[in-house]
């Protein structure tokens, strides 16, 4: 069963690139006492993710934060080095790039995508959520094309 509006975000860990290299960050550190937009993509450097999804948030991050959002975070089932390189290549320095390398958080959300048919293994579905003090207040999961999880859709929901 997947997470839904009103649910508490499950506890877990991500990896981010810190000043000294890869470092862990907990869901508590990210979500507790904050308003966070978390969006997830099936894979860094993949076509829709790189040409539309991430760039939309790069362009609109200031508008989103102006609505009272503390953090805008991008998550993918990729390693921290890939997420860091993707963020740098996309000028996403104002976004938190979260690596869910083993898909553990994605599985806890119930939002896995089976990409084995494409040689991609387990991935995350494309989604966006607004989380307020650890509680999901908006969740849009895209069934196909980039729609409800776009930066524009999130901005409209704020």
- Catalytic residue positions, numbered: 49
Distances (CA, A) of 80 to 18, 31, 44, 69, 142: 10, 20, 11, 24, 24
Distances (CA, A) of 32 to 36, 69, 72: 9, 13, 14
Rounded Cα gap, residues 10 and 21, in angstroms: 26
Bridge-based pairing of strands 21-26 and 13-18 is antiparallel
């Amino acid at each position: 069963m997947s997470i839904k509006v009103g649910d508490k975000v499950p506890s877990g860990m991500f990896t981010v690139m810190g000043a000294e290299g890869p470092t862990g960050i907990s869901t508590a550190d990210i979500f507790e006492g904050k308003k966070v937009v978390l969006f997830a993509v099936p894979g860094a450097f993949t076509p829709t993710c790189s040409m539309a999804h991430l760039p939309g948030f790069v362009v609109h991050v200031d508008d989103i934060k102006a609505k009272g959002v503390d953090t805008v975070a991008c998550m993918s089932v990729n390693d921290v080095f890939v997420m860091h390189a993707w963020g740098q290549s996309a000028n996403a320095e104002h976004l938190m790039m979260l690596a869910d390398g083993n898909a553990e958080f994605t599985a806890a959300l119930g939002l896995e995508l089976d990409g084995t048919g494409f040689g991609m293994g387990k991935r995350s579905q494309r989604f966006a959520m607004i989380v307020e003090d650890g509680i999901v207040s908006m969740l849009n999961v895209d069934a196909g094309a980039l729609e409800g999880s776009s930066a524009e859709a999130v901005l409209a929901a704020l």
